[in-house]
Structure 1
């Protein structure tokens, strides 16, 4: 009879053979589909290379080697990078029903939301529920509703200009991203949660501290490791995520945000009979109701409104998507204007001309009716898209232009790579707002410029973000100019991850007109 150790050795051997076969089979998916991919490391896939560099550097390297489509593995999970504009048009617009879902929400965030009974918002919502919630939320971003929220934005802008005045008097350069970060967080807290706190003046609250802490604790490597770990130990990952949700600061920040928001909603519902309502995103969601759906006449009222926990989830997503992206947009635009004084003067002249022709115009109207301002912001977003990459998930196996996407495949859209491609842009590294004039846009493939995504799943808060940024720049440039200083780094050293930001900040001077 076989000894115990012989049996144990046999079992270990069989287990190793099984693991090797499983890995061989898992790592053969892309090859079987004819999709090129980088060399893999067993168990990690291509995770080590991504962790050592960054996802965007990884994309750029292998797009150059493999062409406009290649695949890679995080653990054994398959992702496909697509830089082919014709395929992207099919994915994001023409066949978007087969790619309804965005990337999966990190497991730790799922656990944190579950602990707090917070809704999943819209960013990670899936399928029919995403469509339902999107129908309810979309009218909230109409021109009429945006205009209602403008006084809250103007209040934040006034505080910002007051801070810039103090900076100007000191005559020193300032790290402008830090100032804009405080401004946009202050504005988002006011608009999304009805919380009025002057962060620019050094004030604070439990909600503002929790929101600031949440952004500080976000980590892209954490999510990369989660994807790898999920390949082999999904059950263990859930236990670890549940533990982390209860012990890490991230969970504590979310609890403060959730509890404070629910308290505000409860208070407003109790006072609703007074007829005195705030015009902010939170209130608009409380009042929101989906329009009639001609395809579903039997829909009941309950399916056309939002629950309180969904409202909190949406407000959180609104803050999450609108804080860093808008502050980044403003910081990079200010930097580009500082190092391109000719374009800055053209913009200032366009602002002056508008007010000369429209004396007494509101800030909202001015921000929406100065074409050169649009061109400047779009060019800044081309050079420095806040999210250098975005992702979708295939929910129905299909073949597009010879590339097969299996159900469950994740695919990456390398926004920054597309925006900086000489194939679509002449001298892509040069700041040239006229690219976005009617003449400049003529003949250009629309998918070559996608800072907010494209199609039905594009960023729903895009119009608010642009309104806030444009109103902010109009107010500032009527009084001040951005100037290059000895501290201004040209070119900027960038850190590119889930978001991109300047490694050493952006130091510029604020000069009075």
Structure 2
């Protein structure tokens, strides 16, 4: 009996050692034939990521191991690549084998799908949500949103006018966050929340709290990722007993807000047939998923309340953080490069001189230099510092690289955008790189909104909103650096990349 027990214990320990220490670190590494940092037992490379941070760890490893290398989150193998051939294969050529993004969300909600939303939805769930949401960002729908965006731009200009020439530093990143939340509430839910005049708006604070929690370099998050890589079933166990942290309470507030928006609108739909707002919420509630049958389509019914909640949370979070970051970084770069800011002002004034009756929308869409400045800002400070895909079937992605099923392929967009192999003087802010015509960079070296079928669904709305805000401001005001301006910026890196201490600038009228 004791011998049998001893054999069983030894067998279990042997299996544990093989599956948790030997196989991932030696068998998989040998199969992938990639170099990378030597993993430590249990943690893999997590300790170095937590110590150096997301960007510095990958910058260090890339300089040592080359364009493509391998590291471990616990026992989870991660291939990091800046090879453009591999990126094209993963994002476009072999998309069906890399359809899913990999993300272990913080335990913010007992419903995992609410946290994942469209951004991290998987397989058929992602296909269905994407199919339903795509028509909501058509050119026709975007034109319907223009008056609402312009109204928010005018409110922002009023705030800027009050602050101009005061000599006081203003946290423009925070102001742009209030602006983008107001635009989202107006265009998506027909809500005039006046967020720009309320610095303590609960929706903005809740969204900021969620993004702060998902930062890499967070030691607690790295430990969680390590544990879940060894014991993935623990995520569901922990979710049953979720601790209501500040971030979890913030996400719960967003969920409850989404449900209230749905209930209020359904109540309006039941009492009024005409004059219902045609915003994104209304389109969601009226949306049907459709199957293609030859040249016809077959409706499969309206979205459930739970699916609408996930879509609303995705719109709130993605629309708030990415656009506010893009505008904040653009203001920062213009303040540090006054010659470029002066040229942008001249281009805007010249356009209005030739087109005195032009709308803000027309100016934003027709002044090339506005797009060039914003594009260069998105290169230096991309909305998402990295993206990834999980291989669902072993795949040859280049002549000398095979990705095994279950391996995560990570693309460090921030580093890719500053790679001297693809960009001349990559650290320089130079909008001329994006002058219309022949591009000065190779395909797949510029990925501010991703690429392929799973690129950012709200890209056009984000760019329109940012360009309208930029034209509206630079037409009459300039950003100036002050003693409070942090140079360089200390960045918080997670799902998105934001300045830890804000972006303080002075504003002057011109």
Does TM-score exceed 0.5, indicating one fold?
yes
Q: Any idea what the Cα deviations from partners look like across 1:96-147, whole Å, max 9, x if unmatched?
A: 1211111245262563456xxx595311222233223212211111111111
SS at match of 2:42: coil
What does residue 405 of structure 1 align with?
403
SS at match of 2:241: helix
C-alpha contact (below 8 Å) 1:226/1:237 kept by paired residues: no
From 454, 471, 475, the counterpart of 1:474: 471
Segment of structure 1 superposing worse, 475-484 or 371-380: 475-484
SS at match of 1:376: helix
CA distance in 1, matches of 2:172, 2:368: 25
Shift of 1:312: 1.9
Segment of structure 1 superposing worse, 318-327 or 198-207: 198-207
Shift of 1:431: 0.8
SS at match of 2:233: helix
From 222, 225, 239, the counterpart of 1:224: 222
Q: Is residue 183 of structure 2 the alignment partner of residue 187 of structure 1?
A: yes
TM-score after normalising by structure 1: 0.90
CA distance in 1, matches of 2:261, 2:320: 21
Residues 236, 137 of structure 1: alpha-carbon distance in 2 compared, 3 angstrom cutoff? closer
TM-score after normalising by structure 2: 0.91
CA RMSD of aligned residues (A): 2.6
What does residue 509 of structure 2 align with?
512
Give the count of matched residue pairs.
Answer: 503
Shift of 1:486: 3.0
What does residue 54 of structure 1 align with?
53
Structure 1 or 2: more helix by fraction? 1
C-alpha contact (below 8 Å) 2:284/2:303 kept by paired residues: yes
Residues 39, 436 of structure 1: alpha-carbon distance in 2 compared, 3 angstrom cutoff? same
From 235, 245, 248, the counterpart of 2:245: 248
Residues 185, 421 of structure 1: alpha-carbon distance in 2 compared, 3 angstrom cutoff? same
1:114-133 pair list within 5 angstroms: 118=114, 121-133=117-129
Segment of structure 1 superposing worse, 16-25 or 66-75: 16-25
Q: Is residue 423 of structure 2 the alignment partner of residue 449 of structure 1?
A: no
CA distance in 1, matches of 2:410, 2:188: 29
1:245-324 pair list within 5 angstroms: 247-272=244-269, 273-289=272-288, 293=292, 297=296, 300-302=298-300, 305-324=302-321
Q: Is residue 356 of structure 2 the alignment partner of residue 359 of structure 1?
A: yes
From 163, 170, 178, the counterpart of 1:167: 163
From 385, 388, 391, the counterpart of 1:391: 388
Shift of 1:424: 0.8
CA distance in 2, matches of 1:44, 1:194: 47
SS at match of 1:73: strand
Residues 289, 356 of structure 1: alpha-carbon distance in 2 compared, 3 angstrom cutoff? farther
C-alpha contact (below 8 Å) 2:45/2:74 kept by paired residues: yes
C-alpha contact (below 8 Å) 1:418/1:448 kept by paired residues: yes
Moved over 6 A (4+): 6-11
From 155, 159, 176, the counterpart of 2:172: 176
CA distance in 2, matches of 1:55, 1:204: 30
Query: Please, which runs of 5 or more residues in structure 1 have no aligned partner?
Result: none
Shift of 1:69: 1.1
